[in-house]
Amino acid sequence: MEKRIFRPEEDGFNGAWYPNPSGGSRGVILMLGDSSEDRMASCGAKWLHLRGCHVMAMSPDRKDYGHHNYPLERFGKAIAFMKEQGCEKLGVIGASTTGMLALLAASYYPDLTLTVAMSPSDFVMEGFYQDGKDGMRERPGDGESTVSWQGIPLPYLPYAYRHPEYWQTIKRDSKAGGDMIASRPMFDESERRHPVREEEKIKVERIRGRIIFIGAEDDVLWDTCRYIRRMQQRLEELPHECVHEAWLYEHGTHFVFPESMLRMMLPVGSGLLVRIMFRAGRQYPKECRQTRIDIDARLRQVFKDW
């Protein structure tokens, strides 16, 4: 598959351009996994090629899922390039932390007229590193937001714990619940100590076009369905120019991916990964798979209509 690499030093952002071999005038910014060049990104691009789209995969660095003061201006540079390639319609897709990032990008760049946010938050998270410091897999960035604008960190919800207690708490809660990773109690405690302020909330009312929020009630990383409902309420209360819908499921875990996309990423054992990662995946494998199948069918229709 054809691919062109972009680096911040030369191009202003880190990414990989996967043009659709069949051509077309629609382009999607895709943020999955910790690299714009890994299997998740390339398989996500193939899935979107089948939907008739060119793809610009983006990530903070070459291989790093840590987010700390990520410049939102990088999206502007990627959008400018995609327009030069003939993309007349532009969208963005993110999952987990990048679900939040997708919403933020769309709220700053009106050229993005389709926003798909899987398991997002409705607030800007505090920055975090995944650099293994002191043997901890992840740690908060002191005084850093996940994102910045014009060199200034955006206001964020601070985590309840600092390093090393941050990762020690996540590790303890994950083990207690039988999950590979579970940070929902930590996020709940963060909001208890610091209720989300207006300046920390994502301004979803500024997003144009269509927004698809996707989440599952059994998500153990954070209470994404509660966050999505708050964004829906915000849109009901404030003037906006978008069409929005929330696909909320009882079972599905944090991995609310389209089933056929997940199978591309993991031809053997796609459902096994969900069962290994999350207790809900082991308890409700059929229900989780049905959720992904439903998301798959609905997203296919979304791209047909776009």
Cα separation, 12 vs 57, whole angstroms: 14
Cα separation, 136 vs 30, whole angstroms: 28
Tell me what the mean pLDDT of segment 219-247 comes to.
98
Cα separation, 72 vs 151, whole angstroms: 9
pTM value surpassing 0.75: yes
pLDDT of 62: 81
Q: What is the pLDDT of residues 95-116, one digit of tens each?
A: 999 999 999 999 999 999 999 9
Q: What is the pLDDT of residues 250-294, one digit of tens each?
A: 999 999 999 999 999 988 777 889 999 999 999 999 999 999 999
> Tokens standing for 45?
């691009």
pLDDT of 218: 98
Tell me whether residue 177 is exposed, middle or buried, using C-beta atoms within 10 angstroms of its C-beta: 0 to 12, 13 to 18, 19 or more: middle
Query: Taking the CB of residue 251, how many other CB atoms lie within 10 A of it?
Result: 18
**At residue 150, does pLDDT exceed 90?**
yes
pLDDT of 61: 85
pLDDT band at 304 (very low <50, low <70, confident <90, very high): very high
CATH of domain 4-305: 3.40.50.1820
272 against 160, higher pLDDT: 160
Return the domain boundaries, the chain. 4-305
Which residue is associated with the tokens 């990662």? 277
**At residue 63, does pLDDT exceed 80?**
no
Tell me what the mean pLDDT of segment 135-163 comes to.
96
Cα separation, 91 vs 111, whole angstroms: 8
Q: What is the pLDDT of residues 167-211, one digit of tens each?
A: 999 999 999 999 999 999 999 999 999 999 999 999 999 999 999
